[in-house]
Structure 1
Amino acid sequence: MAIPNDFSIFNSTSYLTTEIYLNASLAPSDPPCADWTPVPMTTVIPAIYSVICVLGTIANALAVCVLAHASALRRTVANTFMLNLCVSDLLFLLSLPLWAVYYSRGYSWPFGRLACKICGALHNLNLYASIFFITAMSIDRYLAIVHPLRSQSARDPTRARLTCILVWFLACACSAPTLALRDTRYLSGLDVEACVISYPDHTWYLTLVWMKIALGFLLPLLVISCCYCAIGRHLLADTGLVRMRNCHTPPSMPSFKSLESQESCSKPERPPTPCVSPSSSGVRALEGRGLERVLWTVAAVVLAFFLCWFPFHCVTFMDVLNSQGKLDGCWVYWSIHNLTPLTLCLGFSNSAINPVLYCFIGNHFRGRLGGLCKGLCACLKARGEDHSQKRGSFSTRLSSFSRKLSDLKDLAIVEPTGPA
């Protein structure tokens, strides 16, 4: 099938943005925009991919090791979602070196047709799966904090595993069209065999792009924002209610203890005391620095998701408008061909940020990671000591054998003395 000579065939959302830049050499009718300096993709993109791959692989591999070696009591719903999210990110990050080579070779794909399809599938699979798992984790956190009692039956590890299976199935279903359309194509303009996606017509292009924008960004962003806004409002409301209870004087005859508590809340020279009722013990743990940490984590999750993927989807939307002739100009041409690879790199960085936000910030995870490292070091140290003991024992036996052999030689050399 011949490749149409338009920008829709080289949509970056399906093949890592390389082909948008490639199509510039295939469409001589497009404005040259010589005054706009292009970004050197063959050097910048491989360097960024390499950094993301190294940092993301280390972070996700550590997270997978800790979560996979957790005890049965530690395998909660959140840990189940986090483990699957790290596996999804790790699978995609392992394909980044191939794409880095692809860019460094001037957009020439040397790995064959099967590798082209597999790497493209991992890209699209991760794009959907990671966002779906983040959304599932946001809903779980909303249920755990806002509705802790009513959600106990729903927040079951077995149901979490079934949800993970459903997420993988939906991600595979959303990635199936691009997997079928992706293939290697010879581009005569650059004399290379590129890994591209060939849309049958413009309708296919628009359908898949809008599906990616809606299911891969807008809908998850709406759900995540609603969940974390409800969490923040719930925590702030409960904390304010507890403070009002702490400083509230009962209308009946007050006791000395209640008056002292009221004074401690009103006098500025005294440090504030918690004086929390037993019914608010769940909120007491979230007061002060604990509440601040939860709110900052919530804000970091939403901001990381938005900042990593919003620029990429904005440029993708610009590409849609450009393909329909509604947006034109050198700045549009330059933005689509140069900013799309860079914004996609920013989106890929979310795979390296996820384990930091969800795992390494938590004290329990850091404690388990430290325990795992200590156990590994102790195991290596024990093996080293055992090896040194074996070497020492062997050296001792060898030395004893050498001494015995020397004594035998001495006995054989010395002649016995008889009577005169």
Structure 2
Amino acid sequence: MAAVVATLPPANFTSNQSSCNVHNHHFSAKVTFSLFYTVLLVFGACGNILALCITFQRRKKKLNSTDLYLVNLALSDALFTLALPGRIAYYVLEFNWPFGDWFCRVTAFVFYMNTYVSIYFMTCVSVDRYIAVVRIRHPGRTRRVSCARAVCALVWFLVFLQTAPLLLRPMTRRMGDKLTCMEYFNFEEIPKLPYLLLVACVLGFFLPVGIILVCYVQINLKLCQTAKENPLTVRNGHHHRAFTVILVVLLALLLCFSPYHINIVQFMVRKILYQPSCREQQAFKMSLQVTVAFMNLNCCIDPIIYFFAFRGYKRRLLRIFRNSGSMATSSTAKTPSESNSNSQPPGSSSV
């Protein structure tokens, strides 16, 4: 329930909705969001599909628990990009949804399911790295592949339960001659909604961030302790890699997801304390569009996590770029000789 409430789209919060029109879009917003989600589609799809291809090409080496969490993260991001063409069309048509209410529901479901699947799998990666480094003598069963598979299935199942209600309610709303999608929701139908949203933000974002921070601090302390006891052990890079992975995960969460959840918390506190003015509602609506865009940016940042976390991913990625660069160079080198040979008249010979 917590994640469901956190995913509800913004709404007119006053009972007299006609007195305050928060649906105020400008041409600059149309152009900005259209270009943003187009770039997101290209880089997000390419980055995550490439990560999946590189991972499954490693036939000789089995996936460990960390790899399994990252594969699910890449799969979630790749599926998320399937919803982007509809959003791009929505912004190009000046915030007019042409695909009907059911497709809008599916788009909202995919959008917000990816959000919380990403957060939870980032948390799983951090906890897994913590166990591998800090609890290295007593890892228990938590790092077994079978256990990791069960955790992955549980994450998908829980997030599905939390976001599935988005498929059961209308997500479109007629605003004049336009049909908006994921823009408004009648909050007046749900009592105590501000309190539910606050609980949702705590369980869906702030609690995972707290867990990741604890893992980050513990690994840092372990790294310092190991460096004092045996400096040669630190040189193998195992602890440093775990430290870097969690740092990148933490930065990704703070950059992509914190603006959205902090924005929700701030406005819900105002809603509890007093009735926000029309200007405050309009500012919240505009800021929510921007923070949702930042939140969706995670599908392009997640490949950076793969770069540091996947064993062999960096080497294979650099090899792909090196091979493509050498092919381009060789084809360019052949061009002058081919042109010279083609420029000679028939029957002529070189001296």
TM-score class, shorter-chain normalisation, is: 0.7 to 0.9
Unaligned runs of 5+ in 1: 1-10, 244-275, 378-420
C-alpha contact (below 8 Å) 1:181/1:199 kept by paired residues? no
Partner residue, 2:8: 14
- Using CA pairs under 8 Å that are at least 6 residues apart, name the structure with larger relative contact order, 1 or 2: 2
In structure 2, relative to structure 1, the CA distance for the partners of 1:207 and 1:376 (3 Å cut) is farther
Change (3 A) 1:145 1:300: same
Corresponding position of 2:28: 40
- Is 1:305 the equivalent of 2:253? yes
Amino acid at match of 2:8: S
2-structure distance, mates of 1:139, 1:174:
22
Which residue is 2:194 aligned to? 206
Q: Please say if 1:285 is aligned against 2:275.
A: no
Match of 1:217 in 2: 205
2:212–2:246 Cα contact (<8 Å) kept: no
TM-score under structure 1 length normalisation? 0.67
Picking from 274, 280, 300, the partner of 1:326 is 274
Q: How many Å apart are 1:125 and its aligned residue?
A: 0.9
- Equivalent position of 1:265 in the other structure: none
What's 2:41 paired with? Answer: 53
In the alignment, what sits opposite 2:181? 195
Residue 180 (str. 1) matches residue 128 (str. 2): no
User: Following TM superposition, by how much is the alpha carbon of 1:51 offset from its aligned partner in structure 2, in angstroms?
Assistant: 1.4
Match of 1:96 in 2: 84
User: For residues 246-275 of structure 1, what are the alpha-carbon distances to aligned partners after superposition, in whole Å with 9 as ceiling and x for unaligned?
Assistant: xxxxxxxxxxxxxxxxxxxxxxxxxxxxxx
Residue 314 in structure 1 maps to residue 300 in structure 2: no
Q: State the alpha-carbon separation in 1 of the partners of residues 143 and 239 from structure 2.
A: 23
**2:148 aligned partner:** 160
Indicate which of 10, 24, 27 corresponds to 2:17.
Answer: 27
CA contact (8 A) 1:182 1:198 kept: no
Contact 1:42–1:104 under 8 Å retained in 2 = yes
Question: Relative to structure 1, is the Cα distance of residues 231 and 173 closer, same or farther in structure 2, using a 3 angstrom cutoff?
Answer: same
Q: Which residue of 2 aligns with 1:142?
A: 130
Aligned residues: 318
For 1:313, the aligned partner's letter is H
Residue 29 of structure 1 deviates from its aligned partner by 2.6
> Shift of residue 30 of structure 1?
3.5
Aligned to 1:338: 286
CA-based RMSD of the aligned residues comes to: 3.3
SS in 2 for 1:175: helix
CA distance in 1, matches of 2:51, 2:228: 36
Deviation at 1:183, TM superposition (A): 3.2
Change beyond 3 A, Cα 1:362–1:183: closer
Q: Is the 8 A contact 2:133 2:242 kept in 1?
A: no
In 2, Cα distance between the equivalents of 1:154 and 1:317? 34
Q: Does 1:127 align with 2:115?
A: yes
* Aligned counterpart, 2:297: 349
Structure 1 residues 327 and 39: CA distance shift in structure 2, 3 A: farther
TM-score, normalised relative to structure 2: 0.79
Structure with bigger gyration radius? 1
Name 2:347's counterpart in structure 1.
none
